Amino acid sequence: MHPRHLYVHVPFCARRCAYCDFAIAVRRNVPVDEYLDSLRREIEGKAASSYRLESVYLGGGTPSRLGATGISRAMDVIRSSFEFEGDTEITIEANPDDVDATQAAAWRAAGINRVSLGIQSFDNSVLQWMHRIHDADGAADAFRTLRDAGFENISIDLIFALPQSLNRSWNSDLARALELGPDHVSLYGLTIEHSTPLGRWRDRGSVVPADEEIFAAEFLMADRMMSDSGFDHYEVSNFAKPRKRSRHNSAYWTGAPYLGLGPSAHSYDGENRSWNVPQYAEWVSKLSRGESVVVERERLTDENRIAEKVYLGLRTNNGLVISDSDKASADRWSSEGWANIEGNRVRLTSEGWLRLDSLAAALTGL
């Protein structure tokens, strides 16, 4: 199946955040020409000219590090090989410190119509602890600059369940976010990976992670505040104003095919999943020699498909249609306040989403 959704990984960052274990390349001077030449080679090698796209997502890393001209050129490379729908959703991830009037105008001119702004917190001490470069005022200024440039679909990212030693007010962060008037908000509980600075801080005992009770309390607080402000909690981590759901991310949750380009990018054709080498230098080197950058492929088994269908279905408010034999389990969830049931369709509540992994496993037996 030809994918209708394209993800392009732009790995460059000015600095690695304390919690980040993504495939990034920290560069003082971003090699824009080298990156775009390699991107063009990968597209040519995957014979993508017949694909007609409903969404494009420039993720990272920090795509905004390509600069105004670099983003325009990247979109030219993509347009030269793909067809777009008339209303293709085109998203760029950006850090607040990269946003100014010149950048915003260039993105608009390049056809980008959605920005995902990585704010993470409005507490300056927390931002410093995270190794973020921007501050709270800079984040608010970046948001307003995007609005002034004409962007009508702006998403912001925030991180919750931080260590209690930081004394961060989650309520205040949510209130500051809502004051800006975003169209979409993504909220992620902090996860600590071994290979990150944060993982090392935890291992030596200088950081104590938030416990499950704090995670649950902050998740439910966000659900209440966002819902009261007119947002639809349409996926476990995502909230949207009417008609502002992320079409690209929604494609992942419905099991639609997608194509990934760039270091570490994943692709899915409906039957097989594959992913690229994670290191930027290796990705460039292989493409320069005419070699495949795919490091591994996986063909989904029937068991894989069932497990993914259940998990992805339960994580959105569209829910999942279950068999009559599974109704007994779902009825118990309803009595506990974890799900709403209409016929054979099960939709998890916010309380149910806190138990997503175990509830999904209960239906699949995995």
pLDDT tens digits along 275-333: 999 999 999 999 999 999 999 999 999 999 999 999 999 999 999 999 888 888 788 89
Boundary residue ending a domain (219, 253, 287): 253
pLDDT tens digits along 75-125: 999 999 999 988 999 999 999 999 999 999 999 999 999 999 999 999 999
Q: What integer pLDDT is reported at residue 297 of this predicted model? A: 95
Query: 226 and 322: one domain?
Result: no
Considering the domain boundaries, does residue 126 fall inside one? yes
Query: 238 and 312: one domain?
Result: no
Query: 332 and 195: one domain?
Result: no
Q: What is the widest separation between alpha-carbon atoms in the chain?
A: 60
Q: Are strands 12-13 and 5-10 parallel, antiparallel or unpaired?
A: unpaired
pLDDT tens digits along 113-124: 999 999 999 999
Contacts for 204 with CB less than 8 Å, ≥ 6 apart: none
Q: How far apart are CA 238 and CA 223, in angstroms?
A: 10
Q: What integer pLDDT is reported at residue 1 of this predicted model? A: 64
Query: 248 and 311: one domain?
Result: no
Query: 236 and 314: one domain?
Result: no
Considering the domain boundaries, does residue 168 fall inside one? yes
Structure tokens at 144: 């307003």
Considering the domain boundaries, does residue 286 fall inside one? no
Considering the domain boundaries, does residue 71 fall inside one? yes
Confidence of residue 49 (pLDDT cuts 50, 70, 90): low
Q: What integer pLDDT is reported at residue 365 of this predicted model? A: 63
Instruction: Pick 270 or 294 by higher pLDDT.
Output: 294
Confidence of residue 133 (pLDDT cuts 50, 70, 90): very high
Contacts for 303 with CB less than 8 Å, ≥ 6 apart: 366
How much of the chain exceeds pLDDT 70, in percent? 98
Considering the domain boundaries, does residue 60 fall inside one? yes
Considering the domain boundaries, does residue 79 fall inside one? yes
The parent domain of residue 318 ranges over: 302-364
* Amino acid occupying residue 114: R
Q: Where are the alpha helices (DSSP H) in 181-301?
A: 197-203, 212-228, 247-253, 280-288
Query: 327 and 232: one domain?
Result: no
Query: 88 and 234: one domain?
Result: yes
Considering the domain boundaries, does residue 269 fall inside one? no
pLDDT tens digits along 185-206: 999 999 999 889 999 999 999 9
Contacts for 87 with CB less than 8 Å, ≥ 6 apart: none
pLDDT tens digits along 247-266: 999 999 999 999 999 999 99
Q: How far apart are CA 175 and CA 171, in angstroms?
A: 6
Closest to 104 (Cα-Cα) out of 141, 131, 132, 137: 141
Total domain count for the chain?
A: 2
Q: How far apart are CA 241 and CA 181, in angstroms?
A: 10
Side-chain-side CA neighbours of residue 221 (13 Å): 16
Considering the domain boundaries, does residue 262 fall inside one? no
CB 283 within 8 A of CB 276: yes
The residues with which 55 forms a beta bridge, in sequence order, are 5, 89
pLDDT at position 42 over 80: yes
Residue 357, burial from CB neighbour count under 10 angstroms (0-12, 13-18, 19+): exposed
Structure tokens at 247: 């079409």
Query: 61 and 175: one domain?
Result: yes
Query: 75 and 142: one domain?
Result: yes
The Cβ of residue 294 has, within 10 Å, a number of other Cβ atoms equal to: 16
- Which 3 state secondary structure label does DSSP give 210? coil
Torsion of CA 303, 307, 313, 315, to 10 degrees: -170
Q: What are phi and psi of 156, to 5 degrees?
A: -125, 150
Residue indicated by tokens 């009770």: 213
CB 143 within 8 A of CB 177: no
Query: 336 and 226: one domain?
Result: no
Q: How far apart are CA 274 and CA 268, in angstroms?
A: 7
Q: What integer pLDDT is reported at residue 324 of this predicted model? A: 84
The CATH number for 208's domain is 3.20.20.70
Query: 184 and 70: one domain?
Result: yes
The DSSP output letter for 254 is: T
Residue 216, burial from CB neighbour count under 10 angstroms (0-12, 13-18, 19+): middle
pLDDT tens digits along 162-178: 999 999 999 999 999 99
- Which 3 state secondary structure label does DSSP give 273? strand
Confidence of residue 233 (pLDDT cuts 50, 70, 90): very high
**pTM of the entire structure?**
0.95
Query: 113 and 227: one domain?
Result: yes
